[in-house]
Amino acid sequence: MNSNKMLLKAAIAALVFVFYINANAQDVEQIGKGPLLIGNGGVSFSQIGQVSPDSISSITPYSYYLSGNLNLNILNTVSLPISFAYTNNQTSANLANPFNRFSLSPSYKWIQAHMGYSSMSFSPYTLSGHEFYGGGIELQPDDHFRFSAMYGRLRKAVEVDSINVQPVYKRMGGAFLFGYTNDKFDITFNLLKARDEMNSLSFTPRDSTYITPEENLAGSIALKVNLTNNLLLDAEYGLSGVNRDISTRDSIAGNSLLTGGGDLAVYHALRGSVSQSSSVGQIGATYERIAPNYNTFGAYYYTNDFENITLDLSSSILTWLKWSINAGYQRDNLENQKTDTNNRVILSANTMSPITKKLVLNLNYSNVQSYVHIKDIYNQISETNDFQNLDTLSFTQLNMSTGVNISYALKADKRQRQNVNCGFSYQEAAEQQNNDGRYVGNQIFNTMIAYQYSLIPIRLNISSSINHNQNKLPDSRMDVISYSLSVQKTFWESFKTAFISTYSKSYNQDIKLSDVVNLRLNTGYKVKKRHSLNLSLAMVSNKSISRESMMYSANLNYNYIFDFKADRKGKKSSFEGNF
């Protein structure tokens, strides 16, 4: 592994030197013509106190969340953005992706660096937005060549603890991308290497938890060719080798790019498309084939074992209608590993139509498999602040989704606005990600109607809504009906208030499970456009068939923004700031 890191560092250093030589043709006279230093940023600090009169509720009495950002520009040449986030309420010390983080992304002309917590995307078949803790670089010295690379921790080690958290090995990874483009074509090649560290956990892999350290080498090559005017050919081939167990004796020996032995398998992926654009819209065709079990450690989730052939159409020639359709054929079980093979027509369609100046209609349908994050409806109605239930890595695979939304403006003039919005959505869940099986095989229906009323002269906004969420499981059905009312009033430019109330009823089949009342009072005060204080008081009452609980919380939030400019002309220095 050390030799791989040295190889990656040497490649980056060599390419930086080559690109620097090639970049001499750039106009360097701009250096020093801009201000000496320009900066802006902000800080946000939230303190949350919670109390419950009953001893049943498990709460954190006090927590705080601190975040900030600073953006610096030096001599109109060097850019230096910095951001951080920290909380004392880390859900658990054993998290593979912790909340507390720090990132720094300086740039100089055609050089962009990433330090701390960052994410980069090279290809959907290799590195695709996975967060890492380490360093990265992006180089683009001219309009032709580009190079990117990263190295860091993709996942921290997680030990077994008292609440039986699934242990996880520490995973390190490195990747690079090289690309070239001109008026006729664009070609890129990228490679990802990721490996679990066997000594990152204190227990042996052969105990009762039985997890094994893994390794992945994934690469892809992509080509885009402009065949004629507005006719584009786009193709990519991906290859991924995964060793599911690098702890065995026959896999430990050697120092190859991908460890042999163990449980090694190689998978392939291919995608190609051709499209023609014109003044009336776009027409094209796409072919994609992902082998069974194809996976890359550079993505959080992946859909595999399918072959798609689709026709792609889109148009916005009509001012009152914009639409796009992707229709075709899909089959799975490409290597006959399953007992059943599915052959089906796939369709994805979206339509947006401002039928009149007052009426807007949106329709969408898709039976193409995709991964989404579904937020639990019970968590939504019982939250007391925005920092609860911070879970963004739990994904559910959908087999089908459809929705319709209608918006109608009852009145819109200088004095008042009235609007009615209706929506319906349906989702079929198939599989889960990260051992979250709450939505496996479920059918999720959601119906909503909302009304908004605004009196512009006195800055008063009133809104109400009714929402029905139904979750049909294979052997049961859950329903949640929610009624909400919100009143927002701005007394003057710097002082705003809002009262939000929600009443929800939940049922299992026809049996009533709980009544939840959620009341919030929010106030906000702004001082000199730079400082703002926000206070939120919340009460949540939950009466279920088994128990009753009450929760009170207070959230005090302070936000501060600033900007400044420092310059020097000759012997005279100047500084301007808004603090």
Backbone angles phi, psi at 494, to 5 degrees: -105, 0
Residue 75 CB-half CA count within 13 A? 11
Q: What is the predicted pLDDT for the residue at 162?
A: 47
Cβ pair 192, 216 in contact under 8 A? yes
Backbone angles phi, psi at 326, to 5 degrees: -125, 115
Both tokens assigned to 143: 């309009």
Q: What is the predicted pLDDT for the residue at 273?
A: 96
CB atoms within 10 A of CB 369: 18
DSSP, res 520: E
pTM value is 0.74
Residue showing tokens 């490649």: 11
- CA 343 and chain centroid, separation: 31
**In sequence order, what are the beta bridge partners of 405?**
362, 423
Q: Tell me how far apart the alpha carbons of residues 135 and 140 are, in angstroms, rounded to a whole number.
A: 17
CB atoms within 10 A of CB 563: 15
Q: Tell me how far apart the alpha carbons of residues 451 and 430 are, in angstroms, rounded to a whole number.
A: 34
Q: Tell me how far apart the alpha carbons of residues 297 and 35 are, in angstroms, rounded to a whole number.
A: 43
Complete DSSP assignment for 168-228: B--EEEEEEEEEEE-SSEEEEEEEEEEEE-GGGSSS-TTSTT-----EEEEEEEEEEEEEE
- Nearest residue to 236 via CA among 218, 221, 224, 219: 221
User: What are the per-10-residue average pLDDT scores of the chain (579 residues)?
Assistant: 48 45 42 77 93 72 90 85 83 53 84 91 94 94 94 88 72 96 94 92 62 92 91 96 81 62 88 90 94 93 88 84 90 85 87 90 85 50 51 56 94 93 88 46 89 94 95 84 95 90 90 90 91 94 85 93 88 85
b/e burial code for range 302-316 (CB count within 10 A of at least 16 → b): bebbbbbebebebee
Cα distances (Å, whole numbers) of residue 279 to 226, 276, 427 = 18, 10, 35
Q: Tell me how far apart the alpha carbons of residues 575 and 138 are, in angstroms, rounded to a whole number.
A: 32
